[in-house]
Structure 1
Amino acid sequence: MDNSIIHKAKNTISSNLEAIRGKIKEAALSSARRPEDITLLAVSKRHSAEVVTGGILCGITNLGENRLQEAAEKIPSVKNYLDSQKFDSKQLRWHLIGRLQSNKASKAARLFDVIESVESLKVATKLSTTISEIGKTLDVFVEVNTSGEPQKGGLQPNQVRAFAEEIMDLPGLKLVGLMTIGPHTTDQNRIRASFRELRFLRDDIVDNLPGSSFLGKLSMGMSGDYPLAIAEGTTEVRIGTSVFGKRPD
């Protein structure tokens, strides 16, 4: 790894983090929420291992990747460098937020700590089989399409509770929450309605599956709409460019 790139990235990201955390705090307080209840998931897709390492050295602990192949090269590189610097990389949590095909589920289970895009029983079963063989537990989110946009992935809202019950029966998987991507629009009412529906679906699971291991987390809101997601109760926002800067082409 190039230490000069890491150092430069660290300086830039440190300033960016201060700004984005300030905005998250402002949005939380304006909705009578505690800023510490909202996790910042720094989306590092297409950024180099050096840039990501710079972010980690600034205190980032949750990182999101979209593409399995890219992450399979980047994550070990980052971990090896941090180990060489005596940095405890065990505190890091790597999240897969992109679509996952069933033929890649086994590899994803071994690489990531959290899978946020579970939308089929076939994928969930393969994750369960692999993680059980390893002897670990894998946190998963169920992806839900609350925007109504056909190009987006995720379950239909009326499928969520039954699917959640099936997930909770699979060994090695811990259903921690629900994830959605807001609609591609400038209509704030429509965006908020999409996020609100996910919150209602979360509440439905909590109310109808008492005593389950479901943690009730919500992953919703990105750079363009995270203040609206915070207002609607998200517990995690997925932000990339505002943290790491413009993505390379």
Structure 2
Amino acid sequence: MIAENLKYVNERIQKSCLKAGRDEKEVTLIAVSKTKPVPDLMEAYQEGCREFGENKVQELVDKYEVMPKDIHWHMIGHLQTNKVKYIVDKVTMIHSVDSIKLAREISKEAQKKQVTVSILIEVNVAGEESKFGVSMEEAEPLIRKIALLDGIKICGLMTIAPYVEDEEKNRQYFADLKQLSVDIATKNIDNVNMNVLSMGMTGDYAVAIEEGATYVRIGTGIFGERHYAV
């Protein structure tokens, strides 16, 4: 089932790139493996997946210890400052930085472990109260502050769009994030790159790609519905 799902997702990514006149190499699929057991991840790995996304630090660390070491791990969930030290030397990228407090902690731990951590700034484009992330207006001032910190490399922006039945309803949010990244890129801020746009999930990744996503985060579309422990 996972192999079939991956084939379908990859075909949709190719079609969306074709429609948008983009090279499919510009889009990276992150298999969002939260709550899923290691055998499921290994099945995806055997089908070629090397980018995995986790929402919880403990789950990421546990899987990191037992999975092959050529995997790139992405922290995509809300990150508490007291958990930063466990993952700074294990992740390829932290997608969910939305405060100077969190960035300072990442900087501190990165310097301790002598690594440079790639991060994305999480922007709450839709302004949903239930979601983390800074507003569109707050993004650039926050980026300017974080850019001064050691041990951090700002690589772009991330958003989690609203859950919708019709993915077209999220198109404007993705277009807005793309425009924000272009605007910030023109400022030529030191230590700031806007090459990465992490946006689009199982329900809306085709539209996200058409609007410029470089990372799409697919969980249910690959692994099936999640079963949370009660």
TM class, shorter-length: over 0.9
Q: In structure 2, how many angstroms separate the alpha carbons of the residues matched to 1:213 and 1:160?
A: 12
Q: Does 1:19 align with 2:8?
A: yes
Alignment of 1:216-235 (within 5 A): 216-235=195-214
Greater shift in the superposed pair: 100-109 or 180-189? 180-189
AA aligned opposite 2:24? P
1:29 alignment partner in structure 2 = 18
- Structure 1: tracts of 5 or more residues without a match: 1-11, 83-88
| Cα pair distance change 1:56/1:189, threshold 3 Å | closer
Q: In structure 2, how many angstroms separate the alpha carbons of the residues matched to 1:204 and 1:34?
A: 23
The superposition leaves residues 66-125 of structure 1 with CA deviations (integer Å, 9 ceiling, x where unpaired) of 1112222222122xxx3xxxxxx2x32100100011121222323322110000111111
1:5 alignment partner in structure 2 = none
C-alpha root-mean-square deviation of aligned residues, in Å?
1.6
SS in 1 for 2:193: coil
Q: In structure 2, how many angstroms separate the alpha carbons of the residues matched to 1:69 and 1:166?
A: 29
Q: Does 1:124 align with 2:103?
A: yes
AA aligned opposite 2:17? A
Contact 2:156 / 2:193 at 8 angstroms: preserved in 1? yes
Q: In structure 1, how many angstroms separate the alpha carbons of the residues matched to 2:7 and 2:168?
A: 29
Larger Cα-atom Rg: 1
Q: In structure 2, how many angstroms separate the alpha carbons of the residues matched to 1:67 and 1:169?
A: 27
SS in 2 for 1:248: coil
Greater shift in the superposed pair: 55-64 or 204-213? 204-213
Residue from 124, 144, 148 that aligns with 1:165: 144
The superposition leaves residues 156-184 of structure 1 with CA deviations (integer Å, 9 ceiling, x where unpaired) of 11011111122221111111110001123
Aligned length: 228
Q: Does 1:179 align with 2:158?
A: yes
Q: In structure 2, how many angstroms separate the alpha carbons of the residues matched to 1:227 and 1:195?
A: 11
Alignment of 1:202-213 (within 5 A): 202-209=181-188, 212-213=191-192
The superposition leaves residues 5-39 of structure 1 with CA deviations (integer Å, 9 ceiling, x where unpaired) of xxxxxxx3332222110111011111111111100
Contact 2:163 / 2:203 at 8 angstroms: preserved in 1? no
TM-score for the superposition, normalised by structure 1? 0.86
Residue from 93, 103, 118 that aligns with 1:139: 118
1:7 alignment partner in structure 2 = none
SS in 2 for 1:140: strand
| Cα pair distance change 1:33/1:62, threshold 3 Å | same
Contact 2:185 / 2:193 at 8 angstroms: preserved in 1? yes
Q: In structure 2, how many angstroms separate the alpha carbons of the residues matched to 1:24 and 1:13?
A: 16
- Structure 2: tracts of 5 or more residues without a match: none
SS in 1 for 2:186: helix
User: What's the offset of the Cα at 1:211?
Assistant: 5.8
Contact 2:75 / 2:94 at 8 angstroms: preserved in 1? yes
Q: Does 1:77 align with 2:66?
A: yes
Residue from 43, 50, 56 that aligns with 1:61: 50
Q: In structure 1, how many angstroms separate the alpha carbons of the residues matched to 2:160 and 2:152?
A: 22
1:50 alignment partner in structure 2 = 39
| Percentage of identical aligned residues | 35
Contact 1:177 / 1:215 at 8 angstroms: preserved in 2? yes
SS in 2 for 1:111: coil
AA aligned opposite 2:15? E
User: What's the offset of the Cα at 1:210?
Assistant: 5.3
SS in 1 for 2:134: coil
Contact 2:164 / 2:203 at 8 angstroms: preserved in 1? no
Residue from 180, 192, 195 that aligns with 2:174: 195
Contact 2:30 / 2:216 at 8 angstroms: preserved in 1? yes
